[in-house]
């Protein structure tokens, strides 16, 4: 436990200061650092992103013999996020997922003649190997913090301070709780390591509940919801101040969490079912519940969740992203809409490409008539408000 304690408290700033110098040449009052100047001299809205899979990419890099800390700090052509591209696109931080990959490569089922597809749910994973992988990803996160590549944040004040210091503000999230045991002992350990958000399930079953498949067209009402252990997990998260993410859970599971948790409802990376009827997207009734509970939904950049035909095609216009935001704003209000890119976990529009392209979405929102104050809410302030409520800041 001494190692974990040291990792938990150690913050080394030297490498981060070097990166900032190289590239430059919620609750409580909002600091002056709400935008940064790009290398071209333009001001950029800072973005706090509700979901990414950069830890999965770095874990795979480590398994291939590549130093994950060096890859994040020094930059890479792989994936979507590293320190250099984040800085270039104003990505100031986000929820970084510990996600246990499938035992075999997970691929979407090819669409039929009508463009429809229904990818079978991934099979349930064993806990022991899942725990090993989760610990390896958490260790990468801690090593990055020690090296100054990012700062692990456990409060909104820490997120804002990291933004002010120009250091990537990472919050540990768990996407699917395969690594958590039935008596929740592991949850306590991960919490001490910095875990502040989790989704009970990914798109597969586990001991806590059931996920939705990747399917089009399909309702999110695809099966059972929480298990008895799932209800206990939700209650524990409420007690500990851990955000509960409903992005991959069945509709029944959504309502199970809604009646059990007392906190805001969050779908960190989900879009509008009425516009793109994939099982992963939110129905109007679900969005109404999010509004009533003062929660949020984060726009997923995954093209399969943006396009009306749900095809996995990178040549997807930014107008598809804007129309989902427009719909969510009209349905839930500007306070309940945020961003949840799914960087490093999905195909994103070619015009975004990676974290360096975030400001293209910001510009598209400006063109669509959103004011700077409204864009600030979508880009980061709504996430910081909701997390501050849940974390008892």
Structural domains of the chain sorted by starting position, each given as residue range(s) with its CATH number in brackets: 43-390 (3.20.20.140)
Closest residue by Cα to residue 364 from 332, 325, 319: 319
Residue 45: CB atoms within 10 A of its CB come to 22
- pLDDT value of residue 42: 64
Residues 190, 235: Cα–Cα separation, whole Å:
17
Pair 156, 391: CB distance under 8 Å: yes
- pLDDT value of residue 108: 82
- pLDDT value of residue 38: 53
Residues 47, 34: Cα–Cα separation, whole Å:
9
Parallel/antiparallel/unpaired status of strands 266-267 and 35-37: unpaired
- pLDDT value of residue 1: 42
- pLDDT value of residue 18: 32
Residues 170, 159: Cα–Cα separation, whole Å:
8
- pLDDT, one tens digit for every residue, the chain (393 residues): 443 433 333 332 233 333 333 333 333 333 445 666 555 446 899 999 999 999 999 999 999 999 999 999 999 999 999 999 999 999 999 999 999 999 877 788 999 999 999 999 989 999 999 999 999 999 999 999 999 999 999 999 999 999 999 999 999 999 999 999 999 999 999 999 999 999 999 999 999 999 999 999 999 999 999 999 999 999 999 999 999 999 999 999 999 999 999 999 999 999 999 999 999 999 999 999 999 999 999 999 999 999 999 999 999 999 999 999 999 999 999 999 999 999 999 999 999 999 999 999 999 999 999 999 999 999 999 999 999 999 988
Task: Please state the pTM of the whole predicted model.
Answer: 0.90
- pLDDT value of residue 59: 98
Side-chain-side CA neighbours of 181 within 13 Å: the count stands at 11
Closest residue by Cα to residue 95 from 146, 12, 39, 154: 154
Residue 360: CB atoms within 10 A of its CB come to 16
Pair 343, 301: CB distance under 8 Å: yes
- pLDDT value of residue 34: 66
């Amino acid at each position: 436990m001494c190692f974990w304690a040291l990792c938990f408290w150690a913050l080394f700033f030297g490498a981060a200061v070097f990166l900032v110098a190289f590239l430059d040449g919620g609750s409580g009052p909002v600091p002056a650092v709400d935008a940064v100047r790009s290398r071209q001299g333009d001001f950029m809205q800072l973005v706090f992103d509700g979901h990414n899979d950069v830890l999965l990419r770095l874990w795979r890099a480590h398994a291939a013999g590549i130093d994950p800390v060096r890859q994040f700090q020094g930059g890479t052509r792989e994936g979507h996020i590293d320190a250099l591209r984040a800085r270039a696109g104003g990505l100031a931080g986000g929820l970084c997922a510990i996600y246990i990959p499938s035992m075999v490569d997970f691929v979407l089922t090819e669409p039929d003649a009508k463009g429809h597809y229904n990818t079978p749910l991934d099979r349930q994973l064993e806990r022991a190997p899942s725990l090993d992988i989760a610990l390896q990803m958490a260790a990468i996160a801690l090593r990055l913090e020690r090296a100054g590549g990012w700062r692990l944040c456990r409060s909104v004040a820490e997120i804002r301070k990291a933004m002010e210091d120009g250091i990537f503000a990472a919050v540990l999230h768990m996407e699917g709780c395969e690594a958590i045991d039935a008596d929740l002992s592991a949850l306590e350990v991960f919490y001490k390591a910095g875990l502040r958000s989790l989704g009970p399930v990914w798109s597969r079953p586990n001991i806590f509940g059931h996920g939705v498949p990747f399917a089009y067209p399909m309702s999110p009402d695809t099966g059972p919801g929480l298990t008895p252990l799932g209800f206990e997990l939700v209650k524990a998260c409420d007690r500990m101040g851990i955000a509960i993410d409903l992005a991959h859970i069945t509709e029944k599971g959504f309502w199970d969490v809604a009646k059990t948790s007392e906190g805001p409802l969050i779908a960190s990376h989900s879009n509008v079912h009425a516009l793109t009827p994939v099982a992963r997207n939110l129905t109007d009734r679900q969005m109404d519940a999010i509004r009533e509970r003062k929660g949020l939904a984060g726009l997923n950049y995954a093209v399969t969740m943006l396009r009306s035909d749900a095809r996995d095609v990178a040549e997807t216009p930014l107008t598809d992203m804007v129309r989902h935001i427009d719909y969510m704003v009209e349905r839930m209000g500007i306070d309940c809409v945020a961003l949840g890119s799914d960087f490093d976990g999905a195909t994103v529009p070619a015009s975004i490409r990676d974290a360096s392209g975030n400001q293209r979405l910001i510009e598209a929102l400006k063109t669509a008539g959103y004011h700077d104050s409204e864009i600030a809410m979508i880009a980061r302030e709504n996430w910081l408000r909701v997390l501050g409520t849940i974390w008892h800041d």
